[in-house]
Amino acid sequence: MNKQVILIMTIVELLIFGNSPLQAEWIGPNLVKNGDFSQGTQDWFRTGGGGWDCSSGRAECVSYNDSLLSQMKWISIQNNKRYRISGQSYSYADWMTKAKTRIECGASAELVTDWWNSGSSKNLTTKMSEGILSSSTGKVAFQLKHDVYTYNAPGYGNVEGVFDNVGLYQVVYSPTINLTQKQNGIRINSNTPSGSSATVSLTLNNATDYADELTSWSMNWGDGVVETNPAFTSHSHTYTITNGSSQTWTSTFSGTNQAATALDTDTVTILSQPDIALWVNGVSVIDGQIIEIDIYKNPILDLSLLNSEGYLEGANFYMDGKLNQTGADFLYSGNLFDISDIGLTYSLTTDVYNTGLGTNSDSLNINLSVVPEPCTLLLLGLGGLLIRKR
């Protein structure tokens, strides 16, 4: 039977008492079932001869010369998942002997923890190693090894190796998901002037490793619409303003596995697209209209954009050489014309706007024709007739 194991991720050896991972993690049950190393129990097999004593609930072995003693069992795994081996051990010798204890997982020892002989110390040291495992048979070899490779013990001396609390665990880290088109607050105008609806697109991205694969995920658009297990691609959604000229929702992309639930959110604000309405001297006007301004009858020009609709943040009144007012004031009142403007026509452009995405402004252009009052023209005409009679 082929027991080959393929390594598909770099293995990093860590000390348990070192810095803990920043991610949340889920650790599965111990697949080794530590505590019973007896020959023939849990499918343990010994190689390299005897010398093992497992009566105390831990695995102890003794070497009397250069030798490699091991215990091994086959353990079923899920392919391409992350596993961690861990345990406590020491190798003890009173002489100039080189030895080590070792835990291996996989025919080519993809997961390894090594303990070098600690001289006269018999203190158990804890280590672990983790990585991604895959096997053509769905099983890997888990081994405890005691390797004495330079034996300098006099006479009947021995080298001890001890293992305790060993284990093989599946490990899952928290998922990694995000909204790749996240804009830290989307503000977009409605599809039509003074409208109440707009379509927003967000891309759902799942960067989670297969070893940490999601068990469930959803896209909550914040307005009561929730998509369950949607495809990891671009999604469009239409929001509708239910009251007023703007409304804000929070969209949430969430993903869950055994370790944790990850979230990525973005706020979406829909603004009613500006729709301009202009009043001149109290009368509503339309785009392109010509308005006569009698400077004797109405010397003060009153302009108003207050009846404009939509979400408005500012307005602009512009007349070349005469008027340029921009800001939050939607009214203008002033004496723009004098007698020198009689007979002239001026173009007035007005705008209302906001700073949202999409179509965020509306404009209207009219022409103002400056005229005198009718009685003035009559007097001028009579004066001309008197002159001709003379």
The reply to whether 278-376 shares the fold of 177-272 is: yes
What is the structure's pLDDT at 302? 97
So where are the chain's domains? 5-173, 177-272, 278-376
pLDDT of residue 120: 60
Q: How far apart are the first and last CA of the chain?
A: 134
- Residues 319 and 342: their CA atoms lie apart, in Å, by 16
How far, in Å, CA of 86 to CA of 115, rounded? 12
What is the pLDDT at residue 1? 36
Q: Look at domain 278-376 and name its CATH class.
A: mainly beta
Whether CATH 3.40.50.720 fits 177-272: no
Per-residue pLDDT of the chain (390 residues; tens, 9 = 90+): 333 333 333 223 332 222 333 578 999 999 987 656 655 455 677 776 657 777 777 888 887 777 788 888 889 999 999 999 999 888 887 666 778 888 888 766 667 787 777 666 788 888 889 999 988 899 998 988 888 877 666 655 678 888 888 999 999 999 999 987 656 689 999 999 999 999 999 999 999 999 999 999 999 999 999 999 999 999 999 999 998 999 999 999 999 999 999 999 999 999 999 999 999 999 999 999 999 999 998 899 999 999 999 999 999 999 999 999 999 999 999 999 999 999 999 999 999 999 999 999 999 999 999 997 555 444 444 444 444 444
Handedness of CA 305, 306, 309, 312 (dihedral sign): positive
To the question of pTM greater than 0.85 for the whole model, the response is no
Cα–Cα distance list, 133 to 14, 200, 236, 261 (Å): 17, 42, 39, 24
Q: Is domain 5-173 given the CATH code 2.60.120.260 in the classification?
A: yes
